[in-house]
Amino acid sequence: MITGLGKTARKATMVVALGLFAVLQLGTAPAQAQSRIKDIADFEGVRDNMLVGYGLVVGLNGTGDDLGDADFTRQSLVAMLERLGINVRDQIDDLDSDNIAAVMVTSTLPPFSRQGSRIDVNISAIGTAESLQGGTLLVTPMVGADGEVYAVAQGNLAVGGFSAGGNAETVVKGVPTSARIANGGIVEREIDFNLNSMQDMSVVLRNPDFTTARRVSDAINAYLGEVAARPSDPGTVRLSIPERYNQNVVSLLTDIEQLRVEPDQIARVVIDENTGTIVMGENVRINRVAIAQGNLTIRVTETQQVSQPSPFSQTGTTQTVDRTNVAVDEGEDNQLGIMDGGVSLQELVNGLNSLGVGPRDMITILQAIKTSGALQAEIEVM
């Protein structure tokens, strides 16, 4: 009796455990489809800044600019040598080096970068240089949108591509006129921005949407226990800094960016007619509609046959005669397909594929369905 009760209890315990496991699995499934606020929105003031500069790359093995065609490279070389105390104004027409290239230097200044920190820089040739392999970038100031110098770049170039060849053939891999210098830029000026002194700030959605903005504000208010966030438009949520986070905005943003919400999106079909690419959102729906797809195909085949005279004929000659065969396929085997109302994305794709519709024909069909008013989605043609 005791043993039987023990087995029954163990079975009951296992059933309860499996039930709890199933409940936990079901409870965590929606959370996996949700996104963190930090992945769908940006915070006011926390942003990158673009930097650009003009410089010279030296040390190229005969693959630099042709100074006869690139006047800006020649003038830059003369100005650089004069800054170093070398006067070549009188011999400017005699300069004929092909080891120098004029380049544009670009980079991104991360938010809250401090003086002395390093950033990566990208280099791109703007003259007639064939390759930047083996080159060295000279000191290049990099300015922001306000014209102020925020970083200085210099260093040896790392080129991912190459170009090699002879008189009859040339092999090119990648882009040898573009290069990169890891940690090649040093920040010289900081952007003055005090995050902790802010009393309110904006949370900017990367994909503006009314529903998503409302869900973000509700998630923030539920976490803080007070009404501190309000959506002001589809792309902005205004956040008032609570008193307990005064002078500690970093902690507030750290807590908020980990909150999970389910972003909403409008039903949209994106079409790239150049490549035949079609991207449809999961909310795309169509009303009840009939679809038929047929192509008119005409195939013309030319066949040459040899015509010979009858045996023992004295007048006939052997000739080549053209035979033309014309075949017309009007797509009679294609059937008319009917899509019921409220068809989902998967059902729509399966239905069109069952008709033997290719990507480019599918683009035409989707546009025709939209024109008929049966497609409940927005079509965007790239």
CA 95 vs CA 72, 73, 184: distances in Å? 13, 11, 29
At 242 the pLDDT is 93
Of 161, 187, 213, the last residue of a domain is 187
Question: What amino acid occupies position 295?
Answer: N
Contact 80, 134 (CB under 8 A): no
At 370 the pLDDT is 80
Question: What amino acid occupies position 293?
Answer: Q
Claim to verify: residue 282 and residue 371 sit in the same structural domain: yes
At 346 the pLDDT is 64
Claim to verify: residue 253 and residue 295 sit in the same structural domain: no
Residue that wins the pLDDT comparison between 220 and 329: 220
At 323 the pLDDT is 67
Residue 256 belongs to domain spanning: 194-261
Claim to verify: residue 212 and residue 330 sit in the same structural domain: no
41 occurs within a structural domain: no
Residue that wins the pLDDT comparison between 344 and 108: 108
313 occurs within a structural domain: no
At 365 the pLDDT is 78
- Look at 9-18, 160-169, 209-218 and tell me which has the smallest mean pLDDT: 9-18
119 occurs within a structural domain: yes
Contact 55, 129 (CB under 8 A): no
Alpha helices in 85-230 (DSSP H): 210-224
With tokens 């900017």, the residue in question is: 204
At 74 the pLDDT is 84
pLDDT band at 342 (very low <50, low <70, confident <90, very high): low
Q: Residue 326: pLDDT above 70?
A: no
Claim to verify: residue 221 and residue 329 sit in the same structural domain: no
Q: Residue 181: pLDDT above 90?
A: yes
94 occurs within a structural domain: yes
Nearest residue to 191 via CA among 46, 331, 318: 46
114 occurs within a structural domain: yes
pLDDT band at 67 (very low <50, low <70, confident <90, very high): confident
10 occurs within a structural domain: no
Strands 41-43 and 200-205: antiparallel
Q: Residue 119: pLDDT above 70?
A: yes
Q: Is 217 exposed, middle or buried (0-12, 13-18, 19+ CB in 10 A)?
A: buried
pLDDT band at 78 (very low <50, low <70, confident <90, very high): confident
Claim to verify: residue 282 and residue 158 sit in the same structural domain: no
Q: What is the mean pLDDT of residues 138-161?
A: 93
pLDDT band at 184 (very low <50, low <70, confident <90, very high): very high
Residue that wins the pLDDT comparison between 183 and 287: 183
At 145 the pLDDT is 92
pLDDT digits (tens, 9 = 90+) for 349-374: 776 677 667 777 777 777 887 887 87
Q: Residue 316: pLDDT above 60?
A: yes
Claim to verify: residue 116 and residue 217 sit in the same structural domain: no
Claim to verify: residue 106 and residue 229 sit in the same structural domain: no
Q: What is the mean pLDDT of residues 51-70?
A: 90
Claim to verify: residue 147 and residue 274 sit in the same structural domain: no
Nearest residue to 206 via CA among 2, 340, 36: 36
Q: Residue 324: pLDDT above 70?
A: no
The two three-digit tokens of residue 253, written as one number? 């943003």
242 occurs within a structural domain: yes
Rounded CA-CA distance 216/256 in Å is 10
Q: Residue 13: pLDDT above 60?
A: no
CA 296 vs CA 18, 65, 332, 334: distances in Å? 60, 55, 10, 11
Rounded CA-CA distance 142/187 in Å is 9
Contact 188, 113 (CB under 8 A): no
141 occurs within a structural domain: yes
At 29 the pLDDT is 38
Of 159, 187, 215, the last residue of a domain is 187
- Residue % of the chain over a pLDDT of 90: 38
Q: What is the mean pLDDT of residues 249-256?
A: 92
Q: What is the mean pLDDT of residues 334-356?
A: 62
Q: What is the mean pLDDT of residues 157-180?
A: 78
pLDDT band at 77 (very low <50, low <70, confident <90, very high): confident
Contact 352, 366 (CB under 8 A): no
Of 126, 156, 187, the last residue of a domain is 187
Rounded CA-CA distance 301/327 in Å is 8
Rounded CA-CA distance 225/244 in Å is 12
pLDDT band at 137 (very low <50, low <70, confident <90, very high): very high
With tokens 């066949």, the residue in question is: 303
- Look at 26-40, 251-265, 326-340 and tell me which has the smallest mean pLDDT: 326-340
CA 338 vs CA 278, 293, 307, 346: distances in Å? 21, 12, 54, 15
Q: Per mean pLDDT, which of 14-18, 205-209, 279-283 is the most reliable?
A: 205-209
What is the pTM for the complete model shown? 0.66
Average pLDDT value over all residues in the chain? 79
Q: What is the mean pLDDT of residues 256-273?
A: 87
Please give the tally of structural domains in the chain: 3
Claim to verify: residue 182 and residue 238 sit in the same structural domain: no
The two three-digit tokens of residue 370, written as one number? 């939209």
The two three-digit tokens of residue 302, written as one number? 């030319």
Claim to verify: residue 204 and residue 81 sit in the same structural domain: no
Claim to verify: residue 242 and residue 360 sit in the same structural domain: no
Q: Is 56 exposed, middle or buried (0-12, 13-18, 19+ CB in 10 A)?
A: buried
Q: What is the mean pLDDT of residues 203-232?
A: 94
Claim to verify: residue 63 and residue 99 sit in the same structural domain: yes
Contact 285, 349 (CB under 8 A): no
pLDDT digits (tens, 9 = 90+) for 97-114: 889 999 999 999 999 999
Residue that wins the pLDDT comparison between 99 and 315: 99
